[in-house]
Amino acid sequence: MAEQRVEAVVIGSGPGGYVAGIRLGQLGVKALVVEKEHPGGVCLNVGCIPSKALIHAAKTFEKMAKASELGIRLAAPPAVDMAAMQAWKGGIVSKLTGGVKQLLKANGAELELGTASIARGAGGYDVTIARTDGTARTVTTKNVIVATGSRPIEIPGFAVDQQRVLDSTGALALAEVPGRLTVIGGGYIGLELGMVYAKLGAKVTVVEALDSILAGIEPDCVQVVARKLRKMGVEVLLGAKAKGWQDKGDRAVVTVETKDGGEATIDADKILVTVGRRPNSAGLGLEALGVRLDAKGYVQVDRQQRTNVPGIYAIGDVAGGMLLAHKASREGEVAAEVIAGHKSAMDVRCIPAVVFTDPEIATCGLTEQAARDAGHAVRVGKFPFAALGRALSVNDTDGFAKVVADADSGEILGVHIVGNGASDLISEGALAIEMGAVLHDVALTVHPHPTLGESIMEAAKAALGEAIHIVNRGS
Ligand code: FAD
Same domain, 31 and 126: yes
- Is residue 475 a part of any domain in this protein? no
Specify the ligand 1 atom closest to the Cα of 48: 30
Question: Does residue 274 line the site of ligand 1, with CB under 6 A?
Answer: no
- Is residue 348 a part of any domain in this protein? no
Same domain, 271 and 307: no
Q: Which of 19, 35, 42 most suits a substitution to test ligand 1, by most atoms within 8 Å of the C-beta? A: 42
pLDDT of 2 reads 47
pLDDT of 473 reads 76
* Average pLDDT, 10 consecutive residues per value, the chain (475 residues): 84 98 98 97 97 98 92 93 97 96 96 98 96 96 98 96 97 98 98 98 98 94 97 97 96 97 97 97 98 98 98 98 98 98 97 98 97 98 97 96 98 97 98 98 98 98 97 74
Domain that holds residue 446: 353-463
Question: Does residue 48 line the site of ligand 1, with CB under 6 A?
Answer: yes
Specify the ligand 1 atom closest to the Cα of 42: 2
Question: Does residue 325 line the site of ligand 1, with CB under 6 A?
Answer: yes
Residue 239: which CATH number? 3.50.50.60
pLDDT of 474 reads 60
Tell me which residue has its CA closest to atom 52 in ligand 1. Answer: 316
Residue at which a domain ends, from 259, 275, 291: 275
- Residues marked as catalytic: 449
CA of 139 to the centre of ligand 1 (A): 24
Same domain, 301 and 364: no
Residue 366: which CATH number? 3.30.390.30
Same domain, 314 and 438: no
Same domain, 202 and 325: no
Number of domains in the chain: 3
- Is residue 474 a part of any domain in this protein? no
Question: Does residue 293 line the site of ligand 1, with CB under 6 A?
Answer: no
pLDDT of 54 reads 98
Same domain, 364 and 457: yes
3-state secondary structure the chain: CCCEECCEEEECCCCCHHHHHHHHHHCCCCEEEEECCCCCHHHHHHCHHHHHHHHHHHHHHHHHHCHHHHCCCCCCCCCCCHHHHHHHHHHHHHHHHHHHHHHHHHCCCEEEECEEEEEEECCEEEEEEECCCCCEEEEEECEEEECCCEEECCCCCCCCCCCCEECHHHHCCCCCCCCEEEEECCCHHHHHHHHHHHHCCCEEEEEECCCCCCCCCCHHHHHHHHHHHHHHCCEEEECCEEEEEEECCCCEEEEEECCCCCEEEEEECEEEECCCEEECCCCCCHHHHCCCECCCCCECCCCCCECCCCCEEECHHHHCCCCCHHHHHHHHHHHHHHHCCCCCCCCCCCCCEEECCCCCEEEEECCHHHHHHCCCCEEEEEEEHHHCHHHHHCCCCCCEEEEEEECCCCEEEEEEEECCCHHHHHHHHHHHHHCCCEHHHHHCCCCCCCCCCHHHHHHHHHHCCCCCCCCCCCC
Q: Which of 34, 36, 43 most suits a substitution to test ligand 1, by most atoms within 8 Å of the C-beta? A: 43
Residue at which a domain ends, from 238, 255, 275: 275
Residue at which a domain ends, from 275, 291, 316: 275
Same domain, 230 and 363: no
Same domain, 437 and 316: no
pLDDT of 65 reads 87
Same domain, 209 and 256: yes
Question: Does residue 36 line the site of ligand 1, with CB under 6 A?
Answer: yes
Same domain, 317 and 387: no
- Is residue 16 a part of any domain in this protein? yes
- Is residue 408 a part of any domain in this protein? yes
CA of 465 to the centre of ligand 1 (A): 43
Same domain, 247 and 287: no
pLDDT of 371 reads 98
Same domain, 33 and 109: yes
